[in-house]
Structure 1
Amino acid sequence: MFFIAHLHNAGLAPASIISYVSAISYFHKINGFQDPAKSFIISRLLIGAQNLRTVSDVRLPITLPILTKLVTAVPTVITSRYKQVMLRAMMVLAFKAYLRVGEMVPGSARTGQNCLQRQDISLNGDLISVSFRHFKHSRKHGSQSLQIPGGVIPASLISPASCVRDFLHARGTVQGPLFAYVDGTPMLRREFDFLLKHLLEFCGLSSQVFKGHSFRIGAATSAALRGESDAQIRAAGRWSSDAFRKYIRVA
């Protein structure tokens, strides 16, 4: 308890505190000791650390004009033709489907089954069908499917269906993570973050405030600006509560 309080006072993020507690828990379990982290009061302290977090979310939305800049910059910044079509499809689909980064790419190859798979996406003309089996609330609500219009986005030249179709054609039918190379090896989160950072900097945008989650924030913000209802935004982003409101960031 005192150690958790010490870490919190030292300014560590809740996720870092949880990591320390997990390490302590692992040491006890592997040595056959009683796990102190299973205590009710410890679990409540960890929740309290999350509730008391004072770090503000400075991430800005990637809106349609910014998305257009990024997509246009891809051929200049990325030399590999395959990475070009994959990154373009990732960014456009992240915006249209309100994707979390963890739904697109895994943190490591061994967790590749927890992101979108090749069989989870299909095209019927300009209609994109996406099945979500693993996402933040999937354990509670089960899998979900979305039908996403993939025609040219108004006020842009971006066609989501064309971007996805080009990538699927290049990728082939090898089963496994959707955003993967032709041999099935998935793109990992650190590579996506690295490529996005270079695109942002090329476009004169700060990678400190624009992150992978900015596509989801931008999708919610853009929907609100279009006048979509709370229910529409909640359903499109697969939110189970009104938490989507904090993603709407209109200056």
Structure 2
Amino acid sequence: DPSYALQDHIARNRLAPDNPLFAYRHDESDDLIALTKAAFLGRLNEIWAASGMQRITGHSFRIGGTTALLRAGVDPEVVKQAGRWKSDSFLRYWRALDHIISSHM
């Protein structure tokens, strides 16, 4: 259950309600550091490279998130707004198109 992991993260890092959700405490200085996209992707790519997997970009998460929402039956207009898409170009990223289309019919 991801909610336990989130609760643990908040407790371990002593996050206040006005702190960035994905901030963490530096091991040595105890300073609060906001997790950046670059740091997040860098760490993931380190892990995947060590396992012999290919490097990925942040755009992969955008495509995957769009696909997950659409497959869950979320209205395409809501997905468009959530992803801050300015046009219907996000429709190009639909994966498993047959499943997605049937869930919206």
Regarding TM over 0.5, the answer is: yes
1:102-141 to structure 2, matched below 5 A, reads none
TM-score normalised to structure 1 length: 0.30
TM-score normalised to structure 2 length: 0.60
1:211-250 to structure 2, matched below 5 A, reads 211-250=57-96
Task: State the match for 2:15 in structure 1.
Answer: 173
What is the number of equivalent residue pairs in this alignment?
Answer: 91
1:1-251 to structure 2, matched below 5 A, reads 159-174=1-16, 175-182=18-25, 183-207=31-55, 210-250=56-96
CA 1:180–1:224: 2 relative to 1, 3 Å? closer
CA 1:177–1:224: 2 relative to 1, 3 Å? closer
Where in structure 2 are there 5+ consecutive unaligned residues?
26-30, 98-105
Preserved contact between residue 177 and residue 184 of structure 1 (Cα < 8 Å): no
CA 1:169–1:228: 2 relative to 1, 3 Å? same
In the TM superposition, residue 220 of structure 1 has moved relative to its aligned partner by 1.0
Where in structure 1 are there 5+ consecutive unaligned residues?
1-158
User: How well do the aligned residues superpose, as a CA RMSD in angstroms?
Assistant: 2.8
Separation of aligned partners in 2, 1:232 and 1:250: 19
CA 1:227–1:178: 2 relative to 1, 3 Å? closer
Higher relative contact order (CA 8 A, sep 6+): 1
The amino acid that maps onto 1:213 is: H
